[in-house]
Chains A and B, each alone.
Chain A
Amino acid sequence: QVQLQESGPGLVKPSQTLSLTCTVSGGSISSGSYYWSWIRQPAGKGLEWIGRIYTSGSTNYNPSLKSRVTISVDTSKNQFSLKLSSVTAADTAVYYCATAYEGSNAFDIWGQGTMVTVSS
């Protein structure tokens, strides 16, 4: 059974770049037809999809964040990563990595989430 685990700094200064990594265990990130996504949730609020990367390396981003987001994959480490530039307090949230099979578009596996606070 595939499992996901987010990691990265819990505190980022305004205007800097937020960097998170999701480690995939129990399966290979490069096998099968899966989309690997990042989703975030500000405290007490709803879920916002940030973007995804396909097994092939192709990416799609939420238009509202597209200018600041980069998602990449490192198959040698079985990881995919999120970079969000020029962060502000509005980017403070719990960040989840999640996966969906290409044919389903339902996020059936999630990481536990990691809290990132943007503050000086």
Chain B
Amino acid sequence: DIQMTQSPSSLSASVGDRVTITCQASQDISNYLNWYQQKPGKAPKLLIYDASNLETGVPSRFSGSGSGTDFTFTISSLQPEDIATYYCQQYDNLPLYTFGQGTKLEIK
């Protein structure tokens, strides 16, 4: 099975900061990676698909990059409403989808 390792597991940042989360796959997954935002008590929301494509309606301060085994998710200027847990998800090993363990983002 493909393992997805996210880091850090938690992160504290100030409003306006640039925030970066990484996701590492245990093997090459090309660009078969998505990113989700989950706010407390809510379902996850798709932000980035195919590693770098912004889902319709998602603010442009969110971005993704990477391919192969190393991926990065970035918030260019942190806003208070961005407080959430972020997950990566791979789909290279279909039909099995696996998620990273999540990164909890808090305001400093």
Contact = CB atoms under 8 A, between A and B. Distances in A.
Nearest to B101: A46
A107 B95 contact: no
Interface of A: 37, 46-49, 52, 60, 62-63, 96, 98, 104-108, 110-113
**B interface: dominant SS:** loop
Contacts of B87: 46-47
Interface of B: 32, 34, 36, 42-46, 49-50, 55, 87, 89, 91, 94-102
B44 A52 contact: no
A98 B46 CA distance: 11
B46 A52 contact: no
Contacts, number: 53
A101 to B, nearest CB: 10
Contacts of B46: 106-108
Given A96-B44, A106-B50, 14 more contacts: A46-B101, A47-B87, A60-B95, A60-B96, A98-B43, A104-B49, A105-B32, A106-B49, A107-B34, A108-B55, A110-B44, A110-B45, A112-B42, A113-B43
